[in-house]
A and B are shown apart, each in its own frame.
Chain A
Amino acid sequence: MTDREKRNLRLGLAFCSPWLIGLVVFQLYPIVASMYFSLCDYSVLEKASFIGLSNYRDLMADEVFWQALRNTLYYAAMALPLGLIVSFATAVLLNTGVKGMTVYRTIFFLPSLVPAVASAILWLWLLNGKFGVVNYALDAVGIKGPGWLSDPLWTKPSLVLMSLWGVGHAVVIYLAGLQDVPQQLYEAAELDGAGWWGKLRHVTVPMMSPVILFNLIMGIIGSLQMFALPFIMLPGGQPARSAYFFAVYLYDNALPYLQMGYASAMAWILFILTLLLTWIALRLSGKHVHYEGA
């Protein structure tokens, strides 16, 4: 290495250092430490004492853990497909080239910019069983709305509904993808006599499949980590722990209950679960995802 190269390396590292130090101190170290702490009895205040796999064994016998996991998977199973369909459909509609499209795009993206706490407070009022706008609207068409947030049966569907409000990010990614679908494919399909459905099914969806897969994986990660909305809107996952999510139970163990070791073990289980589901999604999608030029 010449002197100049050495100097460039030093300067390069110096300029990268805020990020590098941040990565090591705030990401890498906590991840490694949490793996060790998951094998410990650790209350944050006192020295961690090693207890082997005890935390993991206790978790397997912890009914609240299983309930939180069930709630989370149940939510993900509803929110993921719905979110994918709604965001894709919205993106396709927003790509039709109608007048004033940029305005519509902005409107659909706006909810994604609202902070979680603000939207949680807003939804608390929208979904209020007695004075809520949602039930008011349902009432107008003769449907008696449920107690969205007070009936254990309805808390998870309510959260799914709210998640659909925030599809803006996925829509933007789809829109970018839609611009990339080669126009000549549509023209070829038209020559072959394809209608809008034929074009959508045989051109748009296959060409968009990598983007759909990306959004699916982001969706898996996001819905397994569901935290802010239930944490703010339904404290303790009440009523009857119907909205007690994995990440909320993890948080409760980590701070209010001071069982950081137990919480670390939960975090690793969540990580492995996410990894597993992502792997399955990648495996299953293998044949259906078409990469351009591949």
Chain B
Amino acid sequence: MRFLPRAVLALLLGSVVLLSGCARPGAASRDGRVHISYWEKWTGFEGDAMRAVVDAYNASQDRIFVDLLTVSQVDQKLLLATAGGNPPDVAGLWSNNTHVYADMNAIRTLDDLCEQAGIGPRDFIPSFWDLCTYRGHVFALPTTPATVALHYNKKLMRAAGLDPDRPPRTIEELDAAAARLTTRDADGKIDIAGFLPSEPGWWNWAWGYWFGGELYDGKSKLTVTSPENLRAFTWVQQYAKTYGTQAIQVFQSGFGNFSSPQNPFVSGKVAMELQGVWMYNFIDKFNKNLEWGVAPFPYPADRPDLAGQSLVDMDTLVIPSGSRHPREAFEFMRYVASPAGAELLNLGQRKFSPLTALTPDFYQRHPHPYLRDFVKLAYAQRVFSPPKLAIWKEFGDEMSNAFSKIWLVEETPEQALGRVQDRMQRKLDREIRQKRRKGLVQ
């Protein structure tokens, strides 16, 4: 039995060596190809679409092999892996991570690689290229882009005596249509809501933008309490008051998961909703018979200059600092950002291509009935996305909290937004001080 402790130790040591060996693959593997690790967030049909792109890329050449790994909460795990010095070679993030990670040196600039490959602003729809750049440098390339629009239920509009082919254009028309579309049962409980600003609740920070406001002046001041923002959130609160907060709570607690047949828009509980280009998937999957249409989200009647604006959002590919094969990773990114890769991916995910160049029959091959409307929104005069601030995550959460207080009529828009302004301005001041210290800003 004397050999036993040594055997145990050897086993332990062996497994440690083995494990660390797995974590750090060699440059070229047995098949002679450079393997690059790629972390991506998507699952389901969205994951399948990217898998198809990766397979197509791996089959298209024999030098590089992409190992795709699906990772939940990829933004946080990427950060920890980068901090630990063992990041993947390429990773899929959201566009509002880009500037935060860039400021922290967690991702590498792509300036040199883009220049060598001849990739530049003219290749992409400008609003999406803008989301890839920060402080004058390129930090990401687009994968799947998105714009948002008012989705409306044509059948409910007909039933309410509204023209289903003439969706509301101004906020005032939206309010009037919402009032006519709303129905209640005998007890006064809401049956169908015409429009609910709290649905789906993903852009609660953005209501001011639809009214011409901004949250940040781009330099050193937040503008949360600007007249446009106050106007927007007063409008939001008016809906809560009209429906009644209690009635809304009862109504909303009956909604199922977003991705389910009980989705309030898909099931016809909410007649009009702000939604993104992806909504078509869920309608197609859960209620094919829904008669629906899309229109640019309405603008205040006294601000016709805001007509046709949109919120833009995007998924991106980045190369983490410490990536062992940045060149090979970029080769793959280049493929994803080529017409072949981008269209394969976005046909699979049923979004549109972020590229300016399209293969001629892209729209014919695409099943989305209103795809061109979403593309048009991407080229709009005024597009907006979250301010490029490191504190954005917290700022966004504060805005959600303010929205909640306004929506529950616990605070006035002045109180709720004033609180966010004070709190986040202090944090912004600190962010600017930190950036000065690092020499990132003047």
CB of A130 within 8 A of CB of B253, answer yes
CB of A130 within 8 A of CB of B104, answer no
Give chain B's interface secondary structure class.
helix
Does A139 count as interface, using CB distance less than 8 angstroms? no
Question: Which residues from chain A contact B76 at a C-beta distance below 8 Å?
Answer: 255-256
- Total cross-chain contacts (CB, 8 A): 76
CB of B253 within 8 A of CB of A256, answer no
Which one of A11, A63, A131 contacts B5 once the chains associate, using CB atoms below 8 Å?
A11
Question: Which residues from chain B contact A130 at a C-beta distance below 8 Å?
Answer: 250-251, 253-254
Which one of A45, A150, A236 contacts B252 once the chains associate, using CB atoms below 8 Å?
A150
**Separation of A128 and B253 alpha carbons in the complex (Å):** 6
Question: Which residues from chain B contact A63 at a C-beta distance below 8 Å?
Answer: 419, 423
CB of A45 within 8 A of CB of B79, answer yes
CB of B253 within 8 A of CB of A147, answer yes
Question: Which residues from chain A contact B106 at a C-beta distance below 8 Å?
Answer: 45
CB of A258 within 8 A of CB of B79, answer yes
Question: Which residues from chain B contact A14 at a C-beta distance below 8 Å?
Answer: 5, 8-9
Contact with A along B111-142 (1 / 0, CB 8 A): 00000000000000000000000000000000
CB of A151 within 8 A of CB of B249, answer yes
Question: Which residues from chain A contact B404 at a C-beta distance below 8 Å?
Answer: 238-241
CB of A238 within 8 A of CB of B401, answer yes
CB of A129 within 8 A of CB of B408, answer no
CB of A46 within 8 A of CB of B105, answer yes
Q: From residue 109 to 156 of chain A, which have CB atoms closer than 8 A to chain B? A: 128-132, 147, 149-152
Q: Given A45-B106, A46-B104, A257-B393 in contact, is the A238-B423 Cβ separation under 8 Å?
A: no
Does B394 count as interface, using CB distance less than 8 angstroms? yes
Q: From residue 35 to 75 of chain A, which have CB atoms closer than 8 A to chain B? A: 41, 43-46, 63-64
CB of B82 within 8 A of CB of A45, answer yes
CB of B408 within 8 A of CB of A240, answer yes
CB of B253 within 8 A of CB of A129, answer yes
Does B41 count as interface, using CB distance less than 8 angstroms? no
Does B80 count as interface, using CB distance less than 8 angstroms? yes
Q: Given A150-B253, A239-B404 in contact, is the A252-B397 Cβ separation under 8 Å?
A: yes
Give chain A's interface secondary structure class.
loop
Residue of B nearest to A49 (CB): B437
**Separation of A241 and B416 alpha carbons in the complex (Å):** 13
Q: From residue 1 to 45 of chain B, which have CB atoms closer than 8 A to chain A? A: 5, 8-9, 12
CB of B408 within 8 A of CB of A257, answer no
Residue of B nearest to A256 (CB): B393
Give the interface size bracket for A toward B.
20 to 34
Does B100 count as interface, using CB distance less than 8 angstroms? yes
**Separation of A91 and B252 alpha carbons in the complex (Å):** 40
Question: Which residues from chain A contact B52 at a C-beta distance below 8 Å?
Answer: none
Does B338 count as interface, using CB distance less than 8 angstroms? no
**Separation of A14 and B4 alpha carbons in the complex (Å):** 12
Which one of B390, B410, B434 contacts A240 once the chains associate, using CB atoms below 8 Å?
B410
CB of B249 within 8 A of CB of A147, answer yes
Does B83 count as interface, using CB distance less than 8 angstroms? yes
B151 CB → nearest A CB, Å? 23
Does B86 count as interface, using CB distance less than 8 angstroms? no
Q: Given A14-B9, A18-B12, A46-B105 in contact, is the A41-B434 Cβ separation under 8 Å?
A: yes
**Separation of A147 and B419 alpha carbons in the complex (Å):** 27
**Separation of A15 and B8 alpha carbons in the complex (Å):** 9
CB of A44 within 8 A of CB of B80, answer yes
Question: Which residues from chain B contact A46 at a C-beta distance below 8 Å?
Answer: 104-105
A238 CB → nearest B CB, Å? 5
B102 CB → nearest A CB, Å? 11
Residue of B nearest to A253 (CB): B394
Q: Given A236-B400, A238-B404 in contact, is the A150-B249 Cβ separation under 8 Å?
A: yes
Question: Which residues from chain A contact B249 at a C-beta distance below 8 Å?
Answer: 129, 147, 150-151
Does B169 count as interface, using CB distance less than 8 angstroms? no
Which one of A43, A241, A257 contacts B401 once the chains associate, using CB atoms below 8 Å?
A241
Residue of B nearest to A257 (CB): B394
Question: Which residues from chain A contact B8 at a C-beta distance below 8 Å?
Answer: 14-15
Question: Which residues from chain A contact B252 at a C-beta distance below 8 Å?
Answer: 150
B191 CB → nearest A CB, Å? 13
B423 CB → nearest A CB, Å? 7
**Separation of A46 and B401 alpha carbons in the complex (Å):** 29
Question: Which residues from chain A contact B394 at a C-beta distance below 8 Å?
Answer: 252, 256-257
Q: What are 12 sample pairs from A and B whose C-beta atoms fall under 8 A apart?
A: A15-B8, A44-B79, A46-B104, A132-B253, A152-B410, A239-B404, A240-B408, A240-B410, A241-B401, A241-B404, A256-B394, A258-B390
Binding site for A on B (CB under 8 A): 5, 8-9, 12, 76, 79-80, 82-83, 100, 104-106, 249-254, 390-391, 393-394, 397, 400-401, 404-405, 408, 410, 419, 423, 434
A44-B79, A130-B253 known, 7 other contacts, Cβ within 8 Å:
A41-B434, A44-B80, A45-B83, A129-B250, A131-B253, A240-B405, A257-B394
